Chain A
Amino acid sequence: MTQFLQQLTNGLSIGSVYALMAVGYSLVYSIMNFSNFAHGGVIMLGAYFGFFGLTTFKLPFAAAFALATAGTALVAIVVERVAYKPLRDRKAPFLYFIISAMGASMFLENFVIATIGPNPKPYPPIIPREPIALGDLALGRLDLIMFIVSAACLTLLVLFIDRTRLGKAIQASAYNMKASALMGINTDSVVILVFALGGFLAGVAGVLYGMKYMVYPTIGAITLKSFIAAVFGGLGSLPGAVLGSVLLGVIETLVAGYLSSQYRDLIAFVILIGVLIVRPTGIMGKAVEDKA
């Protein structure tokens, strides 16, 4: 039982970071109806920004954190302007967006390999390693912080989208872009805002992930799993993305703990396929209609 609870808390902690990443996929999907595969590259840059903030510039943690999140928000906006805006203006089919996104992801990843190098780098130790004992459970301080920070960011995001005028504009555009534009919403700014929000969360996720593991140029590959989580919960739905991520994190850690860590990734893809077959729109996704 203790082992199960231990695995559960580990799963919740990694699941909450997946949620930060998955929400970025879902935000963009809800507005633009395509899967933004460049998101993984942005998360990776977030991890590097935080790393250089702490090591090269010797910034205090909060400042490095701010630098990383501001940096990724900016990068996400630049990617949108360069790689997607011309396609949006032309009303290109979704496949062109996906290919463009893959090009952007390839560019970011290899740019980092070419300039910084492919070797993984460890974050400087900030959080003490020794865990907090809670009865028989040993809670890692970092795991706890990951969970709290992620939960706080997600709560703020939900409040922003539910309670502010800008949030309402995002909701309206997600519902119907054309009608929102006719009602006087500047949908172009909404797109920028969505990419900025997704980029900000990508920065948070990148720093947390880097602290837990390491920084390396192919961190983006991990975000494929958060993308699966987004599909699992239902693309385009924020609560779905969070629920899917937490479930995936928990299932993964349980599989790794009780079966074999070899099968962890395989299970993720099996879940993806299973969900698509049984319920293609995920747990709470929006339905895809035929164009006629």
Chain B
Amino acid sequence: MDSYILGILMLAGINLVAVLGLSLLTGFTGLFSFGHAGFMAIGAYVGAFLTVSPARDVPGLGLPLVVGILGGGAAAGIVSWLVGRITLNLKGDYFCIATLGFGEAIRLVFNNVQRFGGSRGWPLGATRNPQDIWVILLVDVVAILLVANLVRSRHGRNMIAIREEELAAQVTGINVFRYKMVSLVTSAVLAGVAGVLLGDYLTFINPKIFNLTKSTELIIIVIFGGLGSISGSVLGALLLTALPEVLRFFEIWRLVFYGAAVILIMISRPQGLLGGMELTPAGIRKILAERRARQALRAEAAREAEGGSR
């Protein structure tokens, strides 16, 4: 395969892992995070430390990529647990602002750790391995199965209840704080894994990669795909990762169009591509059944109106 196309596919697959996590947090639990790039950064740095072969003055343990993925994900999960302990009780967009603060703080900490290159970045000293596409695909499948099964389980239904009406969920006896925490940690682990894969893909990491723009990009993909839809997130990650490449023809104007496109989506189709719908056999049957029911209802209403006029 063309290595350029392969590169875009790998990047889309990596974004998808992080997006799935954020989709669980935002689309199914109703919590908005502007700090997921921070969790990606933790994953990337821990993963790089575990996998890079020790050479010259660069630190590293030279372990296989699998260890890096597990370690990076776990590190991001632990940090998110600590973050959740202190921020999950915040209301409204204050949680959103707190995650923004944490994301930026994590980035600035890495900016100041000279051992890992500080703000100059950390060349990981390896070349990109095209075979890693299979690793990425495998992680994607695992992540999709994890999130899809989670939202269908009792735990997932509790999260959806919190999204719909937090107070009512609490009154029904759902431990709101605990399920928010499960959702946050799961999504952070996935973000961390995505960070490890991104470092492996870029073979160079730099705190700047994980800035507020990256967090925003992830949120935009989730919203574009549609809140509360896993297939929407998959489609969104594929399309929006490819979009800047398609727009590359416009060179420096492409981010101008991207910004305009974001506003356009927000004001014209806020439910995203597939908000609340799933492109699975069962999901499609459900969409079609709902459409038929609506048509039947409309036909009946029309008949009644005719009957009334007679």
Chain A residues within 8 Å of B, Cβ to Cβ: 33-35, 82-83, 86-87, 90, 92, 94-96, 98-100, 102-111, 113-114, 224, 228, 231, 262-263, 265-266, 269-270, 272-273, 276-277, 280-281, 288, 290-292
Contacts and interface: CB of A to CB of B under 8 A. Distances in A.
Contacts of B108: 265-266, 269
Dominant SS among interface residues on chain B: helix
Interface in B160-212: 165-168, 212
Contacts of B259: 103-110
Contacts of B96: 95, 98
Given A103-B220, A269-B101, A277-B98, 8 more contacts: A90-B270, A95-B32, A103-B260, A103-B261, A104-B259, A110-B258, A288-B91, A292-B165
Interface in B259-288: 259-263, 266-268, 270
Interface residues of B, number: 43
Contacts of B258: 106, 110
B82 to A, nearest CB: 11
B263 A272 contact: no
Most A CB contacts (10 A, CB to CB) among B86, B168, B260, B263 go to B263
Interface in B227-274: 252-253, 255-256, 258-263, 266-268, 270
B139 interface: no
Contacts of A231: 97
Given A87-B267, A114-B253, A102 B90 contact: no
B189 to A, nearest CB: 22
A109 B167 CA distance: 40
Q: Shortest 9 CB-CB distances between A and B: which pairs?
A: A103-B262, A107-B259, A106-B259, A110-B255, A86-B267, A269-B105, A103-B263, A272-B101, A100-B266
Given A94-B92, A276-B101, A288-B91, A83 B266 contact: yes
Most A CB contacts (10 A, CB to CB) among B102, B220, B252 go to B252
Given A99-B219, A290-B167, A113 B252 contact: yes
A104 B263 contact: yes
Nearest to B86: A277
B149 to A, nearest CB: 26
B155 to A, nearest CB: 23
Contacts of B91: 280, 288, 290
A102 B216 contact: yes
A103 to B, nearest CB: 3
A280 B93 contact: no
A99 B220 contact: yes
B153 interface: no
Interface string B24-44: 000000001000000000000
B102 A263 contact: no
B281 to A, nearest CB: 31
B295 interface: no
A100 B263 contact: yes
Nearest to B252: A114
Contacts of B94: 276, 280-281, 288
Contact of B256 (A87, A114, A228, A262): A114
Contacts of B111: 262, 266
A276 B90 CA distance: 8
B34 to A, nearest CB: 8
Most A CB contacts (10 A, CB to CB) among B101, B111, B112, B212 go to B101
Contacts of B216: 99, 102
